[in-house]
Structure 1
């Protein structure tokens, strides 16, 4: 019974997050990011400003925060340990982002998918148009890179492996980021997983 109550509460919490974020994105796109306040978002979502800040500590989080990093890191770590690092990380990123743009709402391992294709596209458009979000996005990417390294480096860490992990994770995330921005600039028309795979192939090519 206790687990069921916890699961229900977690689902309600995540659904509230999704509702707040969807209203925030709509307002940001309609009015502009700088012109929209957290109070505006709270009123649109039918919650208090305190509730918004509980789920999203900063205004930037309303655009950039999601629940995917822990799942992505978990799935990278679950792949075969002898798989080449670039493939281990890159293939997982392609698979997980592919699920996001499928527009299928899911509830898996306690996580409601916070963004389908349209929400991801809106997020990227805002990032491209807003300097503060671009700066914060790089911070977020670094946090993802660090989480991947910490999940794979072992205990105690091997310094040589840890360096290779930083390089591989950074290269994969940079390639995926370039693909996402290209996809957004082309209004979501290209096949995103295919574009990501192409970007990952470029960074994996041996220089002659």
Structure 2
């Protein structure tokens, strides 16, 4: 492993440790009652290290790498796939990569967002950001410089389906598996259900 790879892995490990300790404390005490100093102490880092990874306390709950992962997977889908099918397949591929190692973290984070008014209000902005990312990726697949109205509508529908699936998953405390709920919600939009994660 090169020094650059080692540093990147160490940074990722530190960030993951901070987030895991933060989520545990926030679940026990509540978002408002948990301080950055408490999170940093639990993770064994300074509060300055916390802020290098998460500029605001809200970020330790909100921030993840899932949207960039899914948009990358989306731009790699075959050009002939219908837009909503491409998003569905990209989401399934992303879940197959994320859930085996991060399912509990995803569930806890989403529960916290839904249970914390300040985070829930900010989540609307995150939904808009995700919609814009999906729309940009769909435009790229279509050879357009920017999304047209149809692509914006397709991206909004896809994000609505994904959000509905995640909300139902959290409400049922992680049952059934999230991929099955995603399939069900995209099927409601007329997307054919797949039985295995497409590559």
TM-score, scaled relative to structure 2? 0.88
Q: In 2, distance between residues paired with 1:182 and 1:94? A: 17
Q: What do residues 75-112 of structure 1 show as CA deviations (whole Å, max 9, x unaligned)? A: 10000112100000122112212432223xxxxxxxxx
1:151 positional shift: 3.0
Q: In 2, distance between residues paired with 1:50 and 1:69? A: 26
Q: In 2, distance between residues paired with 1:68 and 1:12? A: 20
| Residue among 100, 108, 126 paired with 1:140 | 126
Matched, 1:177 2:166: no
2:32 maps to: 34
Which runs of 5 or more structure 1 residues have no equivalent in the other structure?
Answer: 104-115
Matched, 1:157 2:119: no
Distance 1:119 1:86, change over 3 A: same
| Residue among 172, 180, 190 paired with 1:186 | 172
CA contact (8 A) 2:19 2:60 kept: yes
Q: In 2, distance between residues paired with 1:171 and 1:190? A: 22
**1:15-94 alignment, distance < 5 Å:** 15-94=13-92
Count of aligned pairs: 189
Aligned-CA RMSD value: 1.8
Structure 1 outlier segments of 4+, above 6 Å: none
Q: What do residues 30-89 of structure 1 show as CA deviations (whole Å, max 9, x unaligned)? A: 111111011111111111111111111111110111122222111100001121000001
1:165 positional shift: 2.0
Which runs of 5 or more structure 2 residues have no equivalent in the other structure?
Answer: 192-199
1:100 maps to: 98
Distance 1:60 1:186, change over 3 A: same
**1:114-125 alignment, distance < 5 Å:** 116-125=102-111
CA contact (8 A) 2:73 2:94 kept: no
CA contact (8 A) 1:98 1:192 kept: no
Q: In 2, distance between residues paired with 1:10 and 1:162? A: 37
1:156 positional shift: 5.7
